[in-house]
A and B are shown apart, each in its own frame.
Chain A
């Protein structure tokens, strides 16, 4: 433990070194072996992270009464920069903040990251830019770990930008495809909007508090060193009185950044388009890790957010709206990956709602389980596209359960987790906690979330029944691919007739399916791709038990030892006196001091909700099975009757078009205007340059014409002038 703490810089450093090595040597030397540095480094980082986790768990002291004592370690890495002089001097150091929250995030990032890189080694096999992919992934994981481990806002911002950059690089990995080329800048620019808010928030933080460090760092009155989060316990004591009114804007600005990164309304438009990248990228970045950075930021600065009711209302409204909105769009998406992308938006909305409903532990819990099953779902759809030659359109395939048997079971587990099938899936438990919390906070909110949960169950199983059940329809590209076996890119464009040469894994294929007349030149479900899925599936089932309520060393109790949550609890108590439940903040000990009647009422509500959400999930599954398994014709009739609604959903509520008209076109016009201005300025400069040219040409053509007598005439005229001047 102490070793890891001392060498905590290794966690981001190892993947970064791997990325550098691959970047330098990958193209010519490593080539197909480019995954080895990544496996080793990310695996090493994962090992370190889990070491931290287990040792911190071992040291966890769960208070029986009162607040859980906050445990955190700060490790200074290096002095980053200093600027300014005198009393305006700013000095930023880079260091690690190791506490329960960051360790949890680290484990998620490195663990799932490792599994995905294993998968990607099989999925991307044969790609021309194989090394490039892994270099970017290494860079990404390094930046993500910096993000979750950073001990101040600026370092977090560095990681934030780093993951944004890697997202851009990886979305645009297939740069020869138009969608990828357009989606990558879109993601980057939309995130930039959020980054602007984030940056302003950082500035405002420094302006008000005098520090950007989360915990510990600045000398404050009383001889303690406090970070700004700690200062939120008593802001008036630490902030100049003429700046107090600015304080509510800090969480607002930070929220803008979180909204962009976590793809909430109104800055979610980049996430569906980001599916143009390779499937492992979608799984890693846009499901499990990067999009959770927004949640992480909010939870990390929880005291700051919980001090202001209005901010929480805003978060709740936006999260709820996104959950319902994105879920509704997902009802009519035909592309597997886009379906899951909108689902991710929706689930992130769940997490934000949980946070706003004063249940940060629920938000983090759902984050963990969502990482498992969403990664599983994305990777499974990656196997599907791998096998069908790049086809991902639900309308073009059906009944693949014999074609891809292992994938079918894994996908089923993932869908069940997403839908929240009761008791046996992790998703059920985490979603349940959220529903309880939101319902308790505000019944309206709870009802909306229930509706969203119903929709989630429906569209998830719609996808499953469509793709894996029913009459068997294999897209033509699958056969072509097996016969031709060329190298190509894994396009999500369902019109591309590309093919993928299955690797030469001589391992036993789990694809025991036999299609007469189709020759495989490699397993349809290579082991290297299936193994990580199995691990993820196990997590999707059993991860729910890490927060089984009333356990001693549950996730909640662990997270409660993070100062973010314990301080958040205290601040929330001030904002909502008497209405806070300690357990959602992980303060299991504080439970003891509360009113027994209240506690039992809450328990009863919790039980009702467990039953209710389970029933809803089953209802959703039943609806999906009716329309997509048993009676697909009924769906056609329903669509005819709800025609306009369906069209609206299919067009994604025209959000992209609205944004285009509102923002993109005016900006493009403005850019063109400045281009013309530029021409004018260039022209002016050029005109100025023309003057000496013209003067020179004039002189040349008048006085230097090569005639001897002309020159003599010039002499004479000069002489005449001089003489006249002298003597007259």
Chain B
């Protein structure tokens, strides 16, 4: 299929967006106008890309036909624009908290995309885990680990308000090279997807979503919906992976606690080290090979087996 999304267009749009992002990234010289220009350029590039994609899709449908999935097409555009815009702001916003918030926005948009792809469980899981847990932790840590900036941060004037930033927030490192590299990669990926991929992949796939799932998403009724199928699939075909996932989570929990703990020495009112501290540290025991040499604190329940005599 001929693609109106010619590589040169992709490249040009990427270059434009790249330059825009470059301007948009936080920098020490507070040049609001420059950033505004950058934002404008990105926006323009984004819109142009969208239009080009539309045109491309038009070209597609002209040759093979086929219908979309109802009214879901419009939501795709909404969610995707939200996601991309949110991601752009995550990357370019100087204040860390705002980056986190924008990330939440991106997560919601992504969840919306998931719903469109008939994976509503994953959408819910994404929101619960990412926005509900991970991002909250991020915000906590941002708060915890924030430097005091009273002494002299960098005043950043954004629209309407001024805020004090630390210098590492205010400037970005190697914006030029990063944008160059990143947008080159993006341009290449897009080029591959739109220009080369058709030779590798088959035609649009929406029609081939299993009928059951599609029906479920269209009817929105209680059927063997995606989540049930997913569950069955996971626990029959991926059971070991599930166990391992649980193990990983446990390890992560233990690790996180070990990493970030503080050794606190308990003192009582007078400042003496309390005996509880000694108890928590514990006495050094002599190494003894006798399995019965160490007192095992176990259960007093007589129904339980005792430590076997060897």
| Direct interface between A and B, CB < 8 A | yes
A residues within 8 Å of B by Cβ? 707, 709-710, 713, 716-717, 719-720, 723-724, 727-728
The yes or no answer to B177 lying at the interface (CB within 8 A) is yes
Q: Does B178 contact A (CB under 8 A)?
A: yes
Decide if B117 is an interface residue (CB 8 Å cutoff): no
Question: Which residues of chain A have C-beta atoms less than 8 A from B181's C-beta?
Answer: 713, 716-717, 719-720
Q: Is the CB of A717 within 8 A of B191?
A: no
- Beyond A707-B173, A709-B173, A723-B185, 20 additional contacts (C-beta under 8 Å) are A710-B173, A713-B174, A713-B181, A716-B182, A717-B177, A717-B180, A717-B181, A719-B181, A719-B185, A720-B182, A720-B188, A723-B184, A723-B189, A724-B184, A727-B188, A727-B191, A727-B192, A727-B196, A728-B7, A728-B191
Residues 146-177 of chain B, each 1 if its beta carbon lies under 8 Å from chain A, else 0 = 00000000000000000000000000011001
Pick 8 A–B contacts, CB within 8 A, sort by A.
A709-B174, A710-B173, A713-B181, A716-B182, A719-B181, A720-B182, A720-B184, A727-B192
Residues on the B chain within 8 Å of A717, using CB: 177, 180-181
How many A-B residue contacts, CB cutoff 8 Å?
37
Per the bound structure, the CA–CA distance linking A724 and B192 in Å amounts to 10
In the bound assembly, the distance between CA atoms of A710 and B181 in angstroms comes to 12
B284 to chain A minimum Cβ distance, whole angstroms, is 39
Q: Smallest distance from the beta carbon of A720 to chain B beta carbons, Å?
A: 4
Q: Which residue of chain A has the shortest Cβ distance to B182 in the bound complex?
A: A716
Contact B177 A723 (CB under 8 A): no
In the docked arrangement, what's the CA distance between A717 and B179, Å?
10
Known pairs A717-B177, A728-B7; A723 contacts B182 (CB<8 A): no
How far is B88's CA from A569's CA once the two chains are assembled, in angstroms?
117
Given the complex of chains A and B, what is the CA–CA distance between A720 and B188 in angstroms? 8
Contacts of A709 in B (CB 8 A): 173-174
Bound CA–CA A651/B211 (angstroms):
127
Measured between beta carbons, the chain B residues less than 8 angstroms from A719 are: 181, 185
Distance in Å: Cβ of B6 to nearest Cβ of chain A? 13
Q: Are A728 and B173 in contact (CB under 8 A)?
A: no
Pairwise interchain contact A724-B188, C-beta atoms closer than 8 A: yes
Q: Which chain B residue has the least Cβ–Cβ distance from A722?
A: B188
**Roughly how many angstroms separate A720 CA and B173 CA in the complex, as a whole number?**
19
Give complex CA distance A688, B180 in Å: 36
Q: Which residues of A contact B185 (CB under 8 A)?
A: 716, 719-720, 723
Of B7, B174, B180, B196, the residue contacting A720 (CB under 8 A) is: B180
Q: Which residue of A lies closest to B185 (CB)?
A: A720
Q: CB distance B188 to A710 under 8 Å?
A: no
Chain B residues with CB below 8 A from A710, complex form: 173-174
**With a CB–CB cut-off of 8 A, which chain B residues contact A727?**
188, 191-192, 196
Interface size on B, residues (CB 8 A): 15
Known A727-B196, A728-B7: A713·B178 in contact at CB below 8 Å: yes
Where the two chains meet, the residues of B that have a C-beta atom closer than 8 Å to any C-beta of A are 7, 173-174, 177-178, 180-182, 184-185, 188-189, 191-192, 196
| Distance in angstroms between the alpha carbons of A707 and B174 in the assembled complex | 11
A708 nearest CB across to chain B (Å): 11
> Nearest Cβ in chain B — how far from A721, in angstroms?
8
Closest CB of chain B to A716's CB: distance in Å?
4
- Nearest chain A CB to B190 CB, angstrom units: 11
- The residue of chain A having its C-beta at the shortest distance from the C-beta of B189 within the complex is A723
Q: Which of A707, A713, A720 has the most CB of B within 10 A?
A: A720
User: For residue A716, which residues in chain B have a CB less than 8 angstroms away from its CB?
Assistant: 178, 181-182, 185
3 nearest A-B residue pairs (beta carbon): A720-B184, A716-B181, A723-B188
Return the chain B residue nearest A720 by Cβ. Answer: B184
Write the chain B residue with the least CB distance to A717: B181
Write out the residue numbers on chain A whose beta carbons fall within 8 Å of the beta carbon of B173: 707, 709-710
Residues of A within 8 A of B182 (CB): 716, 720
* Separation of A707 and B173 alpha carbons in the complex (Å): 10
Residues in chain B near residue A724, CB distance under 8 A? 184, 188
Residue in A closest to B188 when the chains form the complex, CB atoms: A723
Residue of A nearest to B183 (CB): A720
- How distant is A492 from chain B, measured CB to nearest CB, in Å? 81
- Per the bound structure, the CA–CA distance linking A719 and B178 in Å amounts to 12
Instruction: Using CB atoms, name the residue of chain B closest to A726.
Output: B188
A710 to B173, CA, bound (A): 9
Q: Which of B7, B184, B196 counts the most A-chain CB atoms under 10 A from its CB?
A: B184
> Which of A707, A709, A727 has the most chain B CB atoms closer than 10 A to its own CB?
A727
Distance in Å from the Cβ of B59 to the closest Cβ of chain A?
21
User: Shortest CB–CB separation between residue A688 and chain B, in angstroms?
Assistant: 32
Compute how far the CA of A600 lies from the CA of B189 in the bound complex, rounded to whole angstroms: 128
Residues in A neighbouring B180, C-beta threshold 8 A: 717, 720
> Shortest distance in angstroms between B178's beta carbon and chain A's nearest beta carbon?
6
Closest chain A residue to B187, Cβ basis: A724
Residues of A with C-beta under 8 A to B174: 709-710, 713
Q: Could you tell me the distance between the alpha carbons of A720 and B177 in the complex, rounded to whole angstroms?
A: 11
How distant is the Cα of A727 from the Cα of B188 in the complex, in angstroms?
Answer: 7
Contact B188 A713 (CB under 8 A): no
Instruction: Please name all residues of chain A whose beta carbon is closer than 8 Å to the beta carbon of B196 when the two chains form the complex.
Output: 727
* Least Cβ–Cβ distance between A240 and chain B, in angstroms: 82
Interface centre among A709, A710, A717 (most CB of B within 10 A): A717
CB distance from A704 to the nearest CB of B (A): 15
Q: How far is the CA of A713 from the CA of B179 in the complex (A)?
A: 10
In the assembled complex, the Cα of A728 lies from the Cα of B191 at a distance in Å of 9
| Contact partners of B191 in chain A: CB under 8 A | 727-728
- Residues of B near A723 (CB, < 8 A) are 184-185, 188-189
Which B residues lie within 8 Å of A720 (CB)?
A: 180-182, 184-185, 188
Residue of B nearest to A710 (CB): B174
Nearest opposing residue in chain A for B172, CB measure: A709
In the complex, residue of chain A having the shortest beta-carbon distance to the beta carbon of B184:
A720
Q: From A707, which residue of chain B is reached at the shortest CB distance?
A: B173
- The docked-state distance in angstroms from the alpha carbon of A709 to that of B182 is 13
* Shortest distance between the CB of B212 and any CB in chain A (Å): 38
In angstroms, Cα B188 to Cα A717, docked, is 13
When C-beta atoms are compared, the residue in chain A nearest to B191 turns out to be A727
Bound-state Cα–Cα, A716 to B182, Å: 7
* A707: B residues at CB distance < 8 A: 173
Bound CA span A713–B177, Å = 8
Most A Cβ at <10 Å: residue of B178, B181, B182, B192: B181
Residue of A nearest to B11 (CB): A728
The minimal Cβ–Cβ distance linking A542 to chain B, given in whole angstroms, is 106
Determine the residue in chain B with the shortest Cβ distance to A723.
B188
CB distance from B3 to the nearest CB of A (A): 14
Instruction: Please report the C-alpha to C-alpha distance between residue A709 and residue B185 in the assembled complex, in whole angstroms.
Output: 17
| Chain B positions within 8 Å of A728 at CB level | 7, 188, 191
* Chain B contacts for A713, CB-based, 8 A: 174, 177-178, 181
Bound CA–CA A717/B174 (angstroms): 12
Distance of A717 Cα from B189 Cα, bound (Å)? 15
Residues of A within 8 A of B178 (CB): 713, 716
Measured CA separation A727–B187 after assembly (Å): 10
Nearest Cβ in chain B — how far from A434, in angstroms?
A: 99
Residues of A within 8 A of B177 (CB): 713, 717
Residues of A near B188 (CB, < 8 A) are 720, 723-724, 727-728
Smallest Cβ-Cβ distance to B196: which chain A residue: A727
CA–CA, A728 and B196, complex, Å: 10
CA distance A723 to B7 in the complex (A): 14
Q: How far is the CA of A724 from the CA of B189 in the complex (A)?
A: 10
B68 → chain A closest CB, angstroms:
29
A707 to B188, CA, bound (A): 27
Task: Tell me how far the C-beta of A538 lies from the nearest C-beta in chain B, rounded to whole angstroms.
Answer: 103
Q: Quote the shortest CB–CB distance from A33 to chain B (angstroms).
A: 76
Distance of A304 Cα from B64 Cα, bound (Å): 117
How far apart sit A719 and B183, CA to CA, in the bound complex (Å)?
A: 12
Q: Please report the C-alpha to C-alpha distance between residue A719 and residue B177 in the assembled complex, in whole angstroms.
A: 13
A251 CB to closest chain B CB, in angstroms? 85
A680 to chain B, nearest CB (A): 42
Q: Which residue of A lies closest to B178 (CB)?
A: A713
